[in-house]
Amino acid sequence: MKKIVLGSFTLFVVYAVLIWLYLFQWSDTSIPDALKGTSVDPATFMNERELVLAQEYSQIKDFLFFLSVPYEWLGFVLVLVLGFSRKFSKWAKDITKMSALQTAIYVFWLSLLLQVFTFPLDWISYKLSMAYNITTQSFTSWMKDMTIDFWISLIMMCLIVFVLYTLINKSPKRWWLYAWLLSIPFTLFITFIQPVVIDPLYNDFYPLKDKQLEEKILHLADEASIPTDHVYEVNMSEKTNSMNAYVTGIGANSRIVLWDTTLNKLSDNEILFIMAHEMGHYVKKHIYVGIASALVLSLVGLWMTKKLSDMIMRKWGTNLKVKSFQDVSSLPLILLLLSILTFAVSPATNLLSRHHEVQSDTYALELTEDKEAAVKTFQALSRSGLSQVNPPFLVKVFRYSHPTILERIEFMEEHNKEE
C-alpha cells in the first residue's frame, strides 16, 4: 500500500513539474511573423494590459486543467488502496439488506469524499476566474451550483451504478455489452430533457427580449429551412463576463441559446453570425453525429474497461482492498479506467468537434456573407475570455473543441479571398 501511495504521489509531482515547464517555459504562443499586424494579431484588437492578462490567465487555467485530470485519478487510487471504498461498502451492507439502498448509501459517501478531495482545485479555478474578472458569480451562488451538480450527479449515479452492478452480478462476462445497450436510450433521454429540466436549475431561460433582433434571427432560420419559433436568452451576466451561444437538446426540445453577455457586447451583425453558426450545427446534424460517435466510443471504452479491470483484479485486487469485482467497492476502479480512457481519446473527439466547428463557420459565412462580422466576433470572444490566439500544441489537442482563434480568423480571411 505504501509503495502504491508513494509511487502515485511521485508520478503526480513529476508530471506537474513537466506540465509547468511545458506551459510556462517551453511553449511559444506568439503568432507567425507573416501574420503580425493582420486581423489575427492580438495586438490589433487587445491593449497591452489585455495581452498580458490573456497570457497569464490562459497559462494558469491550462495548468490547472492538466493537473485536475491526474489529480482525479489519484483520488480514485487513494480511495481504493486506503480502504475507503471497502469501508463504504461495508457500512452500506450493515445499514440495510436492500441492494438499491446499499448502492445509494455507498454512492453518497464515495461522491462526498471525492467532492471534498477535488474541492481545492475547483476553488482555485473559481478564485482565478474572479481575479481575472472572467467570473462575476458570488461565492454563495457558485456553491449553490456545485450543490446542484452534486445532487444531480448523485441521483444519476445511483441509478447507473445499481443497474451496472446488477448486470455485473448476473452476467460477469458480458455486462459491458448490456450496459452499453441500456446507455443508448438513457443518453437520448438525458439529451432530450436537459434543456427543459436540467439547465433551468442553474439559470433562467426565456425567449429573446429584443424582438427586432429575434425577427432577423428567425429570418436567417427560415433561409436555412430550420423550423423554430423562438431563440432563447439566458441570464449568464450574473455569473460571467465571457460570451457564448450553443445548440442543445434533440427533437422537439432542440434549442438555440444566447448568453445575455453576448447580446450586451456584440453588434446585431456579429450576433447574426453567431446564430448562423449555431444553425449550421443544426443543419449539419452535429448533435446526432456527436451522440453517435459518443456511443461508439463508449462501447469500446466499456469493453476495454472489462478487459483491464479483469487483469488489474487478478494482479492487484488485494492491494486495492477489493475482494470481488462484483462488489460495489470496485466502482472507483471502473471510474478510474473510464476517466483514463476518456482522456486518452479526447484528442480524437476534440478533432471531430473542431471539424464540426469549421463546417459551421463555413455555413455561417455563406449564409450571412459578412466576413467582417465574423472576424470581429472571434476577436471579441478572445478578448472577453482572455483566450490565447495561438495556444500551445498540447493545449489545443487536449482542450480545444473549437479551432483556435488564429485558425478561425485566418480561415475567414482565406475563405473570403477564395470567393
pLDDT digits (tens, 9 = 90+) for 276-316: 998 898 889 888 898 899 999 999 999 999 999 999 999 98
| Residue boundaries of the structural domains of the chain | 2-202+286-418
pLDDT band at 419 (very low <50, low <70, confident <90, very high): low
Longest CA–CA span in the chain (Å) reads 72
Look at residue 416 in the predicted model and tell me its pLDDT.
62
Q: How deeply is 292 buried, as exposed, middle or buried, from its count of CB atoms within 10 A (0-12, 13-18, 19+)?
A: exposed
Look at residue 317 in the predicted model and tell me its pLDDT.
87
**Digit-coded pLDDT (tens) for 140-169:** 999 999 999 999 999 999 999 999 999 999
Tell me the mean pLDDT in the region 20-39: 94
All 3 cell numbers of residue 177?
A: 455489452
Catalytically active residues are 278, 361
**Digit-coded pLDDT (tens) for 200-212:** 889 888 888 888 8
User: Whole-prediction pTM value?
Assistant: 0.91
On the question of pLDDT at 245 being above 70, the answer is yes
Q: Provide the Cα torsion 337, 159, 190, 61; round to 10°.
A: -40
418 a known binding residue?
no
**Digit-coded pLDDT (tens) for 97-146:** 999 999 999 999 999 999 999 999 999 999 999 999 999 999 999 999 99
Work out the number of other CB atoms within 10 angstroms of the CB of residue 125.
Answer: 16
All 3 cell numbers of residue 389?
A: 490566439
277 a known binding residue?
yes
**How far, rounded to the nearest angstrom, does the alpha carbon of residue 355 sit from its chain's CA centroid?**
17
Better-predicted residue by pLDDT, 248 or 195:
195
Tell me the mean pLDDT in the region 235-239: 90
Strand, helix or coil at 228?
coil
Give the whole-angstrom CA distance, residue 376 versus residue 40. 10
Better-predicted residue by pLDDT, 138 or 250:
138
357 a known binding residue?
yes
Q: How deeply is 119 buried, as exposed, middle or buried, from its count of CB atoms within 10 A (0-12, 13-18, 19+)?
A: exposed
All 3 cell numbers of residue 238?
A: 450574473
Better-predicted residue by pLDDT, 368 or 419:
368
Look at residue 140 in the predicted model and tell me its pLDDT.
95
Better-predicted residue by pLDDT, 169 or 190:
169
**Per-residue DSSP letters for 323-353?**
S-TTSGGGHHHHHHHHHHHHHHHHHHHHHHH
Tell me the mean pLDDT in the region 361-372: 92
- Give the rounded percent of residues in the chain with a pLDDT score beyond 90: 75
Q: What are residue 240's phi and psi, to 5 degrees?
A: -155, 160
On the question of pLDDT at 228 being above 80, the answer is no
- Give the rounded percent of residues in the chain with a pLDDT score beyond 70: 98
Look at residue 36 in the predicted model and tell me its pLDDT.
93
pLDDT band at 417 (very low <50, low <70, confident <90, very high): low
Give the whole-angstrom CA distance, residue 188 versus residue 301. 19
User: H or E segment at 148?
Assistant: helix 139-170
